[in-house]
Amino acid sequence: MREAFSRPSLYRARNRFAVVASTLALIVGAFTVVHAEAATTITGVDVSRWDHSATTAYPKGTPIDWVKVKAAGRSFAIVKASEDTNYRSPYFVSDYQQARAAGLVVGSYHFARPALPLSTATDQAKYYVSTVLQAGAFNARDSFPPILDLEGTGGLSRSNLIAWTQQFLTTSRALTGRTPILYTYDSFVRNTMGNTKLFTSYPLWYARYSSIVPTSATLPGGWNQWTMWQYTSTETTNGIIGKGDVSRWNGTISALHIFADGRKTGYAPPSAPNNPVVTPGVASATLNWELPTDEGGVVVNRYRVSIDSGLETVTPSTSFVAIALTPGNHTYSISAENVAGIGQAVTGTFTMPPFDANATITPVALTLTSVNAPTGSALTSNVVQVQLSRADTGQAINGATVNILVRPELGTVWTTAVITTDVEGVGTTTFKAPVDASITATTQAGVWYNASRARSYIRIKPALSAVLSTVSVKRTGLVKLRGGTTALLAGQKIYRQVYAGGRWNTVASSTISPSGRYVFTVPTNTKGVKKVRAYLPLTPRHLAVGSRTVVLTVR
């Protein structure tokens, strides 16, 4: 998100039952999916005056072609409206109205300027709402509720900042009749606001720039779901000049339209699921239920289920199968969930009859996905996220063990890790790699599930150091540029570059030694200040990388 006067800092074999007793009682889903739609990622943009770059044709700012934005596959657009009580975006009205005309779901945001007295929150909320009413209405179809962009403290203490935010949100809700969205980023909630859980009744627009999808285990501030996730600030969209912010909607396109229907004011966790029925089987039981009477004004997008007060599991369906059950009495708990929160649970008991201990169980296929950023650095930790679900239903598998193998393209040193999945079937781990690497995730076969496997890949910028033997020398003096990289690149060409004419120019080459070292002699025939670096070009086994720039003064 962007403030008015400067650019921002911001930023998924058959086995005997005799071994069932030793199997973890996981919960798996049967195939009865609610609100079924194609699993398409719904994305949108947010824009401000910074997205209207000046060009020769438009020296005062280039218009956004919203028809092209829509054609590019974006589903929503959120436009900056105001900041403080003295700034209205000059492009707000035109962008908001043209985006709507192009068929996008539209929204607006106010860039917060917290200040004392706390009444400034009321003043800013009124200023924001009055600005938006110049372009449209909050109670229209395909219109987001008010949005507060909270990124700074304004010098307020934590308690005053929380109070200021609450006052802005309650005022904008009173003025519009709709529950506002809160936009903020991870460290701001965790650190600046002390990870307060006071705002979980408001939809979260979560800023975290990553390819790793946020989960309930990783969200700050007590939120169980994000409503929107701003995952990048550097993605291009046809119709908008340059790179900019792009966010994902958490749900289907129909759920987006329901959420953005300003004619409805409801926004709350759903009521309890209706009419649960349990059908016992051999060492398992199938539970079915119906939708809640009240979905809370937005679509129920998943359920949370537990058996015998054990591991809770997320499922997108109104049916699931509890496995590895012993004869006797058992309990269940089922809660519906939407982006507003988790609703009241329906609970009950059921009885498992005796069964043949020699009965055979047919294992079920699983879907295992592995996701990581496409590129990374040898100097930093890279994140891999796995998600494990039942292949036929998409239900999460909680408490499962996933083995990770990171295998670099060069060398024989591999990295292993073990991940345990959570309530959403998700788990993460970090790893380092000196060069490009494959990441393999596997689960072992068992009584109830077949083995599963997933692979992903990451391209790496190798580590590359550079240091001058001296930073100042008389003309014709001896200067060396030395440094190193991973010994896996021994024998590869490395280049010395100097910065001149507005670009880096290659002036010499050398070969990386068996220990991963290199050395260049730097000419000192002419006086002046020279910017120098080492450079490794792109190869099939690693990305291109330049060392840090070192500066030499020749006197």
- Residues spanned by the domain of 406: 366-461
Residues contacting residue 449 through CB under 8 Å, at least 6 positions apart: 363, 364, 365, 366, 397, 443
Residue 226 sits in the same domain as residue 306 = no
- The residue that leads in pLDDT, 480 or 362, is 480
| Nearest-angstrom CA–CA distance, 349 and 329 | 7
Segment 504-537, tens digit of pLDDT: 999 999 999 999 999 999 999 999 999 999 999 9
From residue 338, how far is each of 250, 274, 305, 473 by CA, in Å? 10, 16, 14, 67
CATH code for position 293: 2.60.40.10
| Nearest-angstrom CA–CA distance, 85 and 65 | 29
- Name residue, tokens 């706390």: 118
CATH code for position 183: 3.20.20.80
315: closest CA among 328, 292, 334?
334
User: How does DSSP classify residue 413?
Assistant: -
- Does residue 4 lie in a domain region? no
- Does residue 30 lie in a domain region? no
Q: Find residue 419's DSSP bridge partners.
A: 402
Q: SS3 for 192-259, per residue?
A: HCCCCCCCCCCCEEEECCCCCCCCCCCCCCCCCCCCEEEEEEEEECCCCCCEEEEEEECCCHHHHHHH
pLDDT of residue 40: 84
Other residues' Cβ atoms within 10 Å of the Cβ of residue 226: 24
Give the pair of three-digit tokens for residue 67: 């028809």
- The residue that leads in pLDDT, 21 or 433, is 433
- Does residue 2 lie in a domain region? no
Which of 421, 440, 461 terminates a domain? The answer is 461
- Does residue 29 lie in a domain region? no
* For range 89-105, the mean pLDDT: 98
Residues making up the chain, counted from first to last: 555
- Does residue 181 lie in a domain region? yes
Other residues' Cβ atoms within 10 Å of the Cβ of residue 433: 26
Residue 125 sits in the same domain as residue 209 = yes
pLDDT of residue 14: 30
Segment 243-259, tens digit of pLDDT: 999 999 999 999 999 99
From residue 39, how far is each of 252, 254, 337, 390, 440 by CA, in Å? 7, 12, 18, 15, 24
What is this structure's pTM?
A: 0.85
Residue 353 sits in the same domain as residue 372 = no
> Which band of pLDDT confidence, cut at 50, 70 and 90, is reported for residue 266?
low
| Nearest-angstrom CA–CA distance, 405 and 72 | 37
Q: What is the DSSP string of 354-407?
A: P--TT-EEPPBPEEEEEEE-SEEETTS-EEEEEEEEETTT--B-TT-EEEEEEE
Residue 428 sits in the same domain as residue 477 = no
Which of 439, 461, 483 terminates a domain? The answer is 461
pLDDT of residue 19: 36
Which of 300, 335, 361 terminates a domain? The answer is 361
- Does residue 298 lie in a domain region? yes
Q: Pairing mode, if any, of strands 87-88 and 76-83?
A: antiparallel
Residue 115 sits in the same domain as residue 198 = yes
pLDDT of residue 7: 36
28: closest CA among 360, 357, 307?
307
- Does residue 8 lie in a domain region? no
> Which band of pLDDT confidence, cut at 50, 70 and 90, is reported for residue 15?
very low
